[in-house]
Structure 1
Amino acid sequence: MITLYRYKEEFLQHLDAMRGYSALTIRSYDDAINEMLEHAEIFVEGDTFSINLMPLRVRIAPLKPKSISAKLSAVRSFVKFLRTRGLDVEMNGDESVRVPKTLPKPVAHEHIRSAIEGAEPAAGLAITLLYTLGLRISELGGLRLCDITPQWCRVRGKGAKERDVPVPGAALEALGRYLAAFSPKEYVFEAEGRKLSENSLRYMITKRFAEIGIKVTPHQLRHAYATELLNNGARIADVSELLGHSSMATTQIYTKLGNALKMDHYLKSHPLCQYREDSE
C-alpha cells in the first residue's frame, strides 16, 4: 500500500512538528503503523480504504494488554490523520483493550537523597531536576539554560505545551555545581556541543542508582515528585498543572499510591495488625 506508506511519513512529521512528540515516541508510532500496514487486511474499493485489524490483533495477542492498547492507539491516530487528509477510511477490529491500572512503584526520599549525595555533577543535577521539577525524561533532555531562572523553569511538554514550574533552592545549588564543572552553550545537558540524548540521560541516572544498590527509572522520580507533593497537602489541581497532565484523572493515580503506602505503613505499624500477620 504505497499510498498509505506515503501518508505514514507525513503523519510522523506531523507528530514531530505539530505535536512535539519525542523521537522515542515517534519511533513507537512508526513501528506500530508499519506492523499494521504489513499484517492488517487492507482493501481499496473505489475511493474507500477498508482496514481489517483482526490479523494484526492475532499477531500481537501474546503481548501485554498495555502494549496492545498502545499499538492500537497509534493506529487509530494514524487513521484519524488520514481522514483529515480527505481519505475515506473504514476500520474494523479496533475495539479497545482493557488495561489494568497499575500503581507506580514508589522511591523513598532517602534513596533519592543518597543517590544525589556523592554523585558526579551531571548525574546529581539530572536526578535533582527530575525529583524537584517533576520532569519527563524528554523534558529534561530538551531543557535549555535560558529556561531556568532563580524562581521558575519553563518546561516544554507533550504536544508542544508549555508550563512553568517553581525552582527550589536544591535545584539551583545542583545547577551551580554542574555549571562550575561544565560549560554548556544552549541545552543544560550537552555532549560535544549537541543536546544529550534521552538514552544517555537515562543511562546516567539508572547507573547512579545502581551504584547505591537499587534499580530506579527516571520516570519513577517524576512519580516520587507527585507523590511527595500530594502526601504533604498540595492540591491535586496544582499538582496536575505542575506535571503537565491534560486531565486530573491522570494525576489521581498518585492519590491511590499515597493511600496504598499509608495502608502498608499501617499494617506494619499497628500492633494488632502485626499480631494478626505473625499468627497466620
Structure 2
Amino acid sequence: MRETVSKFLDYLKTEKGSSQNTIASYERDVNNLINYLESNSLTIGKITNTNLNSYLINLEKMGRAPSTISRNVASIHSYFRYLYKNDMIKQDPSSNLLSPKIEKKLPEVLTMEEVDILLSQPSDNDCKGIRDKAMLEVLYATGIRVSELINLKKDDININLGYIKCNDKKKERIIPMGQVSKDALSNYLDHAREIMIKDPGEDILFVSCLGHKMSRQGFWKIVKSYANKAGIYKKITPHILRHSFATHLVENGADLRSVQEMLGHSDISTTQIYAKMSNNRLKEVYSKAHPRA
C-alpha cells in the first residue's frame, strides 16, 4: 500500500499541480488511513465502504473536528479515485463516502446598545472625527460591504431622497438611509470633505487623512480603535456592522427578501443565517424572562 501512496503523491505534484500544502495534507491523511487499515490486516483489494466508514467513526471518537474529518474524506476520495482510474483496484470503495455536515459558525454581531456606544465615539470637533462618524453611520444604516463603502463616489449618494447607489460585481443596488446617517453624511460633506481632499476633482466620497481613497485596512483600524475606546472587546472585524445591520433588521420584523436585496445576496440561504441568529436571541430572551422557562 505504501507504494501506491508514493505514486499518488507524485500524481498530485506532476499531473494535477497541487500546492505543497495540499500535497502535505493528503499525504498525512492517507498515511493515517493506511496505518489504520494495516492495523486491521486489510489490503487494498479488500477495502470496503464499511471499512472506510469505520475509520471515519474512529476519527470522530478520537475527537477530530467535523472540518478535519471532512478534509480526510476529500483526501480519501482523491486517493481511491486515483487507484481506480489506474486499474490498481477493481472498484472505488470511497464512492459513497459522505462528509459530515459542518454547521456554519454564526457571525459575531453587536447588540443595539453596543452599536449606539460605538457610533457615539467619533468626535465632531475635527474633520477626521466627522468623517469617521459618517462612515460608521452609513455602514450601519445600509449594511454595505466595507469594500463598497470605501469605493462609494460622491455621485452615488442622494441625501435629499435618502438613498445610496451601490455597485457590486453583479448588479446595482439602491439602499435607503435613515435620518441619523443622512445628518452625519451632510455634516461630513459640508464641514470636512472639502478640507480633506487634495484634488478638487476627487470623486471618492470618503477620503483618508492624506486626501485620497481609503484602504480596507485603514478603515479596519478606525473601527477597532473606536471599539477599544467604547470598551467593546468582541472580535471586531470590518464586517461586524454589516452583520449587525442585518441581524437587527430581522429582529425588528424585516422580511428576509428585503434584507437579501439590501445586502446584495444572490441566494436567500445566505441571508437566512440572520433569521437563525434572531431566533437564538428570542430563545435567550424567553429563557431569561418567562417565569416557567
| TM-score of the aligned structures, taking structure 1 as reference length | 0.64
Equivalence for 1:187? 204
Task: Read off the aligned partner of 1:42 and give its amino acid letter.
Answer: K
CA distance in 2, matches of 1:64, 1:143: 40
Equivalence for 2:152? 143
In terms of mean alpha carbon deviation, does 98-107 or 142-151 score higher?
98-107
CA distance in 2, matches of 1:65, 1:121: 44
Give CA deviations for 1:99-131 in whole Å, capped at 9, x if unaligned: 421112231112111222241212212211111
Equivalence for 2:220? 202
CA distance in 2, matches of 1:40, 1:170: 60
Is 2:183 the counterpart of 1:173? yes
Contact 2:142–2:245 (CA under 8 A) maintained in structure 1: yes
Equivalence for 1:218? 238
Equivalence for 2:105? 102
Equivalence for 1:55? 23
TM-superposed deviation, 1:221: 0.9
Cα distance change of structure 1 residues 106 and 248 upon mapping to structure 2, 3 Å threshold: same
Cα distance change of structure 1 residues 100 and 57 upon mapping to structure 2, 3 Å threshold: farther
Contact 2:117–2:230 (CA under 8 A) maintained in structure 1: yes
Cα distance change of structure 1 residues 250 and 116 upon mapping to structure 2, 3 Å threshold: same
Q: 1:100 is paired with a residue of what secondary structure?
A: coil
| TM-score of the aligned structures, taking structure 2 as reference length | 0.61
Q: CA RMSD in A?
A: 3.1
Equivalence for 1:155? 166
CA distance in 2, matches of 1:203, 1:59: 40
TM-superposed deviation, 1:63: 11
Contact 1:42–1:51 (CA under 8 A) maintained in structure 2: yes
Q: 1:195 is paired with a residue of what secondary structure?
A: coil
Task: Read off the aligned partner of 1:230 and give its amino acid letter.
Answer: V
State the structure with more CA Rg.
2
CA distance in 1, matches of 2:279, 2:247: 10
Give unmatched runs, 5+ long, in structure 1: 1-38, 45-49, 73-94, 274-280
CA distance in 2, matches of 1:272, 1:199: 48
Identity %: 29
Cα distance change of structure 1 residues 203 and 107 upon mapping to structure 2, 3 Å threshold: same
Give unmatched runs, 5+ long, in structure 2: 1-9, 30-63, 75-97, 123-128
Is 2:12 the counterpart of 1:41? yes
Cα distance change of structure 1 residues 188 and 43 upon mapping to structure 2, 3 Å threshold: same
